[in-house]
A and B are shown apart, each in its own frame.
Chain A
Amino acid sequence: MNENDARRLFPQRLETDAESVERDLFKLVLTIIELVRQLMEKQALRRVDEGDLTDEQIEGLGTGLMHLEQAMDDLKSRYDLTTADLNIDLGPLGPLLSE
């Protein structure tokens, strides 16, 4: 996601301080990655339930997701963010992230 995309997504509130800009962009990117991670996890569980994956595929999926979760935890701690910090409230649609 480049800077122009980010500017369109939050048109009014972009801080002028360089450091907060970086942090805000980082937060936005992490939010989206976290959303994707959660969606993929749900999708993986659904596929496992459907029973059409081999043991090898299940193991690969699980390990991949586990690494992704670990990577996310590392990234969040680098900027001292919790999952709650990343959550976006979409008003009537509820929060973006489910936990």
Chain B
Amino acid sequence: MTETGRYLYAIARGLDPQALTDVPALAGGHLEVVEHRGLGAVVSSVDLDEYGEEGLRRNLENLPWLEEVARGHDTVVQATATQAPTAPLRLATICLDDDGVRERLDAWHDALEQVLDRVEGRMEWSVKVYARPRPAPAAEATRPAASGAAYLQRKKAETEARQADESSTAMIADEVHESLAARSVAGRRLPPQDPRLTGRSERMLHNGAYLVEVDEGVAFSALVDELATAHPEVVIEVHGPWPPYSFATLEQT
């Protein structure tokens, strides 16, 4: 007897609904495609207890729930993106019913066409640059200083070394970003990530997202390798190809 709504995962152009039959939906639901003016919204039904405004406010702070829903959402987005040009939506876009979905498709139509034109035939690559962990100080550096003045001298030298290191690694991160952006359709800087979430202790210098033509993927990877070799002072990691999340998401209004 609980109210249901329609959860929107992504919007695609030219999608064959049959292609998603075996893909699992959230909350044991069933994927459908609601079409309007040539665009199709991939949706499934969800309980508003869990996904309505109150429910979301509760659940979005529940990390296990968030993880399950994020993964389920991503599964559908990735499946859709392999079939047709896809604009992924952010988490928890809910409409009351299919008429509501069509209204959204109508309102967003032009923006969506632009987004789909931009991402068609392109994938997202993630490139992160980390500072190398600093080597442990030499034995002399840890022995007690001979005097107060010597102690201060040592501290000053350490500070200057650290600042020089920080500014040179920041410059490298900028260079890496510019080189990669020049070889992509588009590049974006995302905020650095909390070490407790990444599990990495090294400082994250750069978190970049790049939109790359599908058949340029290998060349892009090779460029990242070149940059990593050219800059041994930093650690460069590349992941992808992913659906173009950072270049296609629409704001909910």
- B-contacting residues of A (Cβ < 8 Å)? 41-42, 44-45, 48-49, 55, 58-66, 70, 84, 89, 91-92, 99
> Are A48 and B152 closer than 8 Å at their CB atoms?
yes
Report the separation of the CA atoms of residues A91 and B156 in the bound assembly, to the nearest whole angstrom.
Answer: 28
B191 contacts across to A, CB distance below 8 A: 92
Report the separation of the CA atoms of residues A84 and B195 in the bound assembly, to the nearest whole angstrom.
Answer: 11
> Are B148 and A66 closer than 8 Å at their CB atoms?
yes
Q: A60-B148, A61-B148, A65-B151 are in contact. List 12 more A-B contacts (CB 8 A).
A: A55-B149, A59-B147, A61-B152, A62-B149, A62-B152, A64-B148, A65-B152, A66-B144, A66-B145, A66-B148, A70-B144, A84-B201
**Which of A42, A64, A84, A89 touches B194 (beta carbons < 8 Å)?**
A89
> Are B155 and A58 closer than 8 Å at their CB atoms?
no
Report the separation of the CA atoms of residues A48 and B194 in the bound assembly, to the nearest whole angstrom.
Answer: 35
A58 contacts across to B, CB distance below 8 A: 148-149, 152
Asked if B71 is an interface residue, CB under 8 A from chain A, the answer is no
Instruction: Knowing A89-B194, A89-B196 are in contact, say whether A45-B151 is a contact too (CB < 8 A).
Output: no
B162 contacts across to A, CB distance below 8 A: 99
Q: Within the complex, what minimum Cβ distance (angstroms) separates A84 from chain B?
A: 7
A70 contacts across to B, CB distance below 8 A: 144
* Top 7 A-B residue pairs of the complex, sorted by shortest distance between their CB atoms: A62-B148, A63-B148, A59-B148, A62-B152, A62-B151, A66-B151, A45-B156
What string of 1s and 0s marks CB contacts (under 8 Å) between B91-135 and chain A?
000000000000000000000000000000000000000000000
Report the separation of the CA atoms of residues A15 and B201 in the bound assembly, to the nearest whole angstrom.
Answer: 26
Report the separation of the CA atoms of residues A42 and B194 in the bound assembly, to the nearest whole angstrom.
Answer: 26
Instruction: Knowing A41-B155, A45-B155, A99-B162 are in contact, say whether A59-B196 is a contact too (CB < 8 A).
Output: no
Report the separation of the CA atoms of residues A84 and B134 in the bound assembly, to the nearest whole angstrom.
Answer: 13
A62 contacts across to B, CB distance below 8 A: 145, 147-152
Instruction: Knowing A89-B194, A89-B196, A92-B191 are in contact, say whether A59-B149 is a contact too (CB < 8 A).
Output: yes
Report the separation of the CA atoms of residues A55 and B151 in the bound assembly, to the nearest whole angstrom.
Answer: 13
Q: Please give me the residue from chain A that is nearest to B194 by CB atom.
A: A89
Residues facing A in B130-166 (CB within 8 A) are: 144-145, 147-152, 155-156, 159, 162
Report the separation of the CA atoms of residues A61 and B147 in the bound assembly, to the nearest whole angstrom.
Answer: 11
Q: Within the complex, what minimum Cβ distance (angstroms) separates B32 from chain A?
A: 39
Q: Within the complex, what minimum Cβ distance (angstroms) separates A95 from chain B?
A: 8
Q: Can you give 10 contacting A-B residue pairs, CB < 8 Å?
A: A45-B155, A45-B159, A60-B148, A61-B152, A62-B151, A65-B148, A65-B151, A66-B144, A66-B151, A92-B191
